[in-house]
Chains A and B, each alone.
Chain A
Amino acid sequence: SAVISQKPSRDICQRGTSLTIQCQVDSQVTMMFWYRQQPGQSLTLIATANQGSEATYESGFVIDKFPISRPNLTFSTLTVSNMSPEDSSIYLCSTTRGDEQFFGPGTRLTVL
């Protein structure tokens, strides 16, 4: 299995500010994914981040709002920019190893 850690585990932020979430994997991986889990809703893929290339965003998500970095094969960051209360969610990163996808513990974000 892959061990994935995320920082911070939770945060409370003011609207209009930005928060950067870090995701660390215990070994080198090619693909990393960022998901959002809004309260009472399903997980939705935000983007796929491959090292050495720009992230690929899903419909409804844009780079200006959710810039992603992938500086090396074990690390990625997701920034939630210019936050509003609608951004209150759990944000999860994941990666694949073999035929399985593994998830981090998530970052619970509350925007006031």
Chain B
Amino acid sequence: AQSVTQPDIHITVSEGASLELRCNYSYGATPYLFWYVQSPGQGLQLLLKYFSGDTLVQGIKGFEAEFKRSQSSFNLRKPSVHWSDAAEYFCAVGGGATNKLIFGTGTLLAVQP
């Protein structure tokens, strides 16, 4: 079955600390992988995507993610978190760039001073 797992429901980090949000997927074909961020009252914004090529992808706002096929993972990282990064983060997988997306349950990030 196709699915996305985000094991961490809620994470709290201190401002300036590094961040890693975990994402594991199960998908029968070559996966297209995405990370979205949803701030309160806002729509979903695409942070980054992976289709093929270099397994380390850079996104907006200083985020990056690494695709590891052997681990079926696509973890999101940021070296230094800012208070404005507090939001909910969703990992998603699709079978093509324009196909429907399967989302994980999300990780809610809190940033403390």
Contacts and interface: CB of A to CB of B under 8 A. Distances in A.
A100 B46 contact: yes
A106 B40 CA distance: 11
A90 to B, nearest CB: 9
Interface of B: 4, 34, 36, 41-44, 46, 49, 51, 90, 92, 94, 97-98, 100-106
Contacts of B42: 105
A105 B44 CA distance: 7
Chain A: interface residue count, which band?
Answer: 20 to 34
B100 A103 contact: no
Contact of B104 (A42, A96, A101): A42
Interface of A: 4, 31, 33, 40-45, 48, 58, 92, 94, 96, 98-106
B22 to A, nearest CB: 15
Contacts of A31: 98
23 contacts: A31-B98, A41-B105, A42-B4, A43-B90, A43-B103, A45-B100, A45-B101, A45-B102, A58-B100, A92-B43, A96-B97, A98-B97, A99-B49, A99-B51, A99-B97, A99-B98, A100-B46, A101-B94, A101-B98, A103-B43, A105-B41, A105-B43, A106-B43
A37 B102 CA distance: 12
B97 A42 contact: no
Nearest to B41: A105
Contacts of A100: 46, 49, 97
Contacts of B92: 43
Contacts of B46: 100-102
Contacts of A92: 43-44
A101 B106 contact: no
B33 to A, nearest CB: 12
Nearest to B101: A101
Nearest to A47: B100
B49 A42 contact: no
Contact of B98 (A41, A45, A58, A96): A96
